[in-house]
Amino acid sequence: MKIVGSKKTQNMATSIFTELANKKSEAIKKGMDVIDLSVGCPDMPPPANVVDTLVQFSRDTTKYGYTLKGIDKFNEAVAYFYKQRYGIELVPETEILQLMGSQDGLAHLAMAMIDPGDYVLVPDPGYPIYEHGVMIAGGTIYPMPLLEKNGYLPKLSEIPVEVLHKTKMMIISYPGNPVTALASEEFFEEVVEFAKKYNILVIHDFAYSELIYDENPQISFMSVTGAKEVGIEFNSLSKTFNMAGCRIGYAVGNEEALRILASFKSNIDYGVFYPIQMAAVTALTSDYNVLRKQLNEYENRRDVLLAGLEKGGWKVAKSPATMFVWAKIPSGWTSRQFAFKLIEKAGVAVVPGDAFGTQGEGYVRMALVQSPERLAKAAEKIQSFLQGAAVVTKE
């Protein structure tokens, strides 16, 4: 019996993270001390009161049934959080939808919205689920190049009109992943007018809303006049509160888009575990000083890594946000050559930029998911690797 996957799955390459995990295992077997800066999974714990809440409700054996959807307290907590953090008023009953993480929500939205023949504008480079979600839904991807010279903002005026007339959605993300750029309020205003003109649903991924450095403003797309008319915003507790494994997030904004997504979800899932929802409520409504402490830690990590790299002769642009560094690699390498040789020779795992799209070639992404001491050590290892590579090149 021959079992064959769908053409959609056949068109998806093996995850780069799987390849990196295999190379990491090979390096460890050789006795190397591998410092993993590849996967963006927080290494810090959730706030203590969040863990306490999870434990408390997990002991209640009446809370192990299906929840079906977000409990009222969760939606109210999201509304409170958005008001406190971003100054945005949301209607809990209609403008907030609970998700099993923003990645699931992004994939489900594409399936709920996209028909074959529909175009979706996707950032290049961009987080892989943007593209893969559209592929699964049978839509057509139109990449929007995010170039350093343009501040990693797409040039909307350069998208062909014939494409726009077939476009149903566009996806943007600021702060972004893998690029760590921020968008201005003026850019978001341009997006709103653009979406209205061409009747395009805007999807803004705001997963790194609480990891914005150097006192830069936190600008939610929903804060812009008209944003709720044209779009929805995804957010998550994974990075903000270090609850990545809990799989809980939410989308806010356009009531009709959320209703369609909720209808789709009602056919494929039975909701998030009640104790996790209550832990999320605690996180969203408690003392936000923990967020400032976490931000300071990531900012310090960024500075330690960049200082170490610059000391070794590799000057990398300072990330204004997120838990990543988006680094232009030294000349003479492709992104994959650099990343694979770095883990093989130096024991430092980073992600090649082309894994996020063709415009990512020439870059690597490094995650700030190690202690400052380990990041300093990673910088030393990279310095030795680059010095060794230079010697080989000269020979």
Shared domain for 173 and 277, answered yes or no, is: yes
Would the pLDDT of 218 be above 50?
Answer: yes
Domain annotation covers residue 41: yes
Would the pLDDT of 389 be above 80?
Answer: no
Domain that holds residue 59: 50-285
Domain end, chosen from 251, 285, 319, is at 285
Shared domain for 379 and 311, answered yes or no, is: yes
Shared domain for 270 and 296, answered yes or no, is: no
CA 207, CA 43: separation in Å to the nearest integer?
Answer: 17
Can you give the CATH number for the domain in which 12 is found?
Answer: 3.90.1150.10
Domain count across the chain: 2
Shared domain for 244 and 380, answered yes or no, is: no
Q: What is the pLDDT of residues 29-75, one digit of tens each?
A: 999 999 999 989 999 999 999 999 999 999 999 999 999 999 999 99
Exposed (0-12), middle (13-18) or buried (19+): which is 372, by Cβ within 10 Å? middle
Predicted pLDDT at 164: 98
Shared domain for 173 and 210, answered yes or no, is: yes
Shared domain for 105 and 29, answered yes or no, is: no
Would the pLDDT of 159 be above 90?
Answer: yes
Shared domain for 87 and 194, answered yes or no, is: yes
Q: Over the range 43-80, which residues count as b (16 or more CB within 10 Å of their CB) and which as e? A: eeebbeebeebbeebbeeeeeeeebebbbeebbbbbbe
Would the pLDDT of 391 be above 50?
Answer: no
Can you give the CATH number for the domain in which 280 is found?
Answer: 3.40.640.10
Shared domain for 56 and 31, answered yes or no, is: no
Query: In the predicted model, what is the mean pLDDT of residues 90-95?
Result: 98
Domain end, chosen from 261, 285, 309, is at 285
What's the predicted TM-score (pTM) here? 0.95
Domain end, chosen from 285, 317, 340, is at 285
Domain annotation covers residue 1: no
Query: In the predicted model, what is the mean pLDDT of residues 355-371?
Result: 97
